Amino acid sequence: MNKIALITGASAGIGEACALKLAENGFDLIIAGRRQKNLESLAKLIEEKFNKDVLSLCLDVRNYEDVERTINALPEKWKNIDVLVNNAGLAVGVSPIEQGIIDDWDRMIDTNVKGLLYVTRCVSPLMTARKKGLIVNISSIAGKEAYPGGNVYCGTKHAVEAITKGMRIDLLPHNIRVSSIAPGMVETEFSLVRFKGDENKAEQVYEGFSPLKAEDIADSLLFIATRPEHVSINDILIMPSAQASARDVNRK
């Protein structure tokens, strides 16, 4: 039987690339996100290209009741989740703290922190029952540093870093490995979401240097997920070669 991976936020960007990479390398996939059409296209691609089983879950990770109901209702085969990738997340806005928009703050905290917790709360008991599993949380350079206008987004990713460490300790007796991947700038829909659909502002973020591609993060995930059982890759910090810190980018 193939291993099974559940990836949140698989309808775009890093999550989509991770789904394709794991499918290419023998995993069956549970792909989750809010945009059903994107999930359907991805599922079709995976089935046709890699001949792997795919289950699509139209799911908003901010809604605990939906998350719980959806995970509890998984068909028995699909409950044998070997790898959970907590990837769904977003930044919204770059306002300084004194001008912060409460709805932006709520969206980031509810998705990046509470959503990650909700999914983990429902999936981890399936892993502890089987005494095996791997959880990979997608953090960020924003989980290691703060930068102007990053306040709440950086706060959520610092929380992801702390929660990852706590999860690793709690799940240790259950033989479950917990990893974090913290990327620098990756060209995805991330900046379009952060700038609320302003394409010019989003494009400027990646001008004058080569940002990471979503596939680069998928490579890191594959490395983590294919280590022997006695090896845990706790943290990967992966940056574009032209980025030395959240703020230092060598643009041509």
CB nearer ligand NDP, residue 124 or residue 243: 243
Integer Cα distance of 249 and 100 in angstroms: 26
Which 3 state secondary structure label does DSSP give 172? helix
Integer Cα distance of 249 and 63 in angstroms: 37
CB of 92 to ligand NDP, least distance (A): 10
Is residue 246 within the footprint of ligand 8X3 (CB under 6 A)? yes
The one catalytic residue in 64, 118, 147, 153 is 153
Integer Cα distance of 200 and 197 in angstroms: 9
240 binds, among ligand NDP, ligand 8X3, none (CB under 5 to 8 A by kind): none
Is residue 249 within the footprint of ligand 8X3 (CB under 6 A)? no
Of these, 135, 142, 171, 224, which contacts ligand 8X3 (CB under 6 A)?
142
CB nearer ligand 8X3, residue 92 or residue 142: 142
For 101-163, the DSSP string reads -HHHHHHHIIIIIIIHHHHHHHHHHHHHHHT-EEEEEE--GGGT---TT-HHHHHHHHHHHHH
Is residue 140 within the footprint of ligand 8X3 (CB under 6 A)? yes
- With beta carbons less than 8 A apart as the criterion, state whether 3 and 26 touch: yes
Return residues touching ligand NDP (CB under 6 A). Answer: 8-9, 11-15, 33-35, 38, 59-62, 87-90, 111, 115, 138, 140, 183, 185-186, 188-190, 193
Integer Cα distance of 184 and 141 in angstroms: 5
CB nearer ligand 8X3, residue 23 or residue 185: 185
Going by DSSP bridges, is the β-strand pair 235-238/176-183 parallel, antiparallel, or unpaired? parallel
Would residue 153 show up in a list of annotated catalytic residues for this protein?
A: yes
CB of 190 to ligand NDP, least distance (A): 3
Q: In one letter, which amino acid is 114?
A: K
Is residue 136 within the footprint of ligand 8X3 (CB under 6 A)? no
**Cβ-closest position to ligand 8X3:** 140
246 binds, among ligand 8X3, ligand NDP, none (CB under 5 to 8 A by kind): ligand 8X3
Phi, psi of 233 (to 5 degrees): -90, 105
CB of 112 to ligand NDP, least distance (A): 6
Is residue 141 within the footprint of ligand 8X3 (CB under 6 A)? yes
Is residue 83 within the footprint of ligand 8X3 (CB under 6 A)? no
DSSP assignment letter at 228: -
What is the side-by-side strand order in the sheet with 133-138?
54-58, 28-33, 4-8, 83-86, 133-138, 176-183, 235-238
CB of 196 to ligand 8X3, least distance (A): 15
Map the footprint of ligand 8X3 across residues 184-203, applying CB under 6 A. Answer: 185
Residue 174: Cβ within 10 Å count: 15
Residues assigned a catalytic role: 153
- Give the interface with ligand 8X3 as residue ranges (CB under 6 A): 91, 140-142, 185, 246
